[in-house]
Amino acid sequence: MNKSTNTIEQETQNEIFDESQARIYLAAVYRLIDFFGWSDLTLTHASSRVPNSDSHFLINPFGVKFNHIKASDLVKMDFEGNIVGNNKPAINPTAFMTHSSIYQARPDINTIIHAHTPYGVALSTLECGLLYIDQAAMIFHDKIAYCDYNGFAVDRQEGESKAADLGDDKLCLILRNHGVIVCGEKIDDAFIYLYLLEFACRTQILAMSTGAKLIQPSQEIVSSFSKQVGKFKEKINVKQSKSEITSPGFKALINKLDRLDPSYRD
């Protein structure tokens, strides 16, 4: 499965997005989570639907360090908790309950990342939640929901509760006193949301720590920002695609991984 000699630009030309490519990009997400220091040892988790499948998704085997995860390590599961294939590694039960419930409730979502990022956890303890005080935060206007802490999601009911809290159109969920869940139509979308959400949380925590009065942009500016982002993407020729990796930031990070250690592709 090793494609270390290819750049992501070469891969995405005339790309037919299949399971092998989903495995490579999801393994890259695990390596990047480790690179940014968001792995919480092995207690966070990311998954992606198997392309062209209505009932299977890929997730990490529990306990494998994120900087060691390879494409071939990822486990294929169905929504009933059955592992597809002869290998039967341990799976984080809370991860299965959360991811499978969200996928079943939201067919528009194809990638889910749950993380205990330092500033995301810090912000999850604040009653005010995320404030739209910088550009990164404004990206999440009308995309973010909240849920109260209820312990581990060890049963189907708790997983379904998180899916219900996410609702029909939100892409990010702040888990009070816990962490964050980010979702995307594509793998690169989800990871970039994670990066931007942690950036926004860090900005807010640092700004609030000064004790000074915060400057809050008007509701009009905040609500119009998403339209400005769309126009910006058009100007830099980021085409819309439901499968192809199009985020320039994610492409740059993949190329960085390829230079540092391309073994995630194996």
pLDDT(147) > 90: yes
pLDDT(184) > 90: yes
pLDDT(12) > 50: no
At the second CATH level, the architecture of 8-257 is: 3-Layer(aba) Sandwich (3.40)
| Among the ranges given (212-221, 230-239, 240-249), the one the predictor scored with the smallest mean pLDDT | 230-239
Percent of the chain scoring above 70 in pLDDT: 90
Query: How far is residue 25's CA from residue 18's CA, in Å, rounded to a whole number?
Result: 11
Residue 111, Cβ density class (10 Å: 0-12 exposed, 13-18 middle, ≥19 buried): buried
Say if CB 123 and CB 208 are below 8 A apart. Answer: no
CA distances from 259 to 4, 12, 189, 232, 254 (A): 9, 18, 22, 29, 9
Query: How far is residue 154's CA from residue 145's CA, in Å, rounded to a whole number?
Result: 21
Question: Quick one: pLDDT at residue 11?
Answer: 47
**Token code pair at residue 256:** 């960085």
Say if CB 26 and CB 58 are below 8 A apart. Answer: yes
SS (H, E, C) 168-199: CCCCEEEECCCEEEEEECCHHHHHHHHHHHHH
Say if CB 45 and CB 93 are below 8 A apart. Answer: no
Beta strands 179-184 and 144-147 are unpaired
Say if CB 239 and CB 245 are below 8 A apart. Answer: no
pLDDT, mean of residues 11-16: 45
Instruction: Summarize pLDDT for 27-52 with one digit per residue, the tens.
Output: 999 999 999 999 999 999 999 999 98
**Token code pair at residue 77:** 């599961």
The residue extents of the domains of the chain are 8-257
Query: How far is residue 167's CA from residue 164's CA, in Å, rounded to a whole number?
Result: 5
DSSP 81: S
How far from the centroid of its chain's Cα atoms is residue 20's Cα?
19
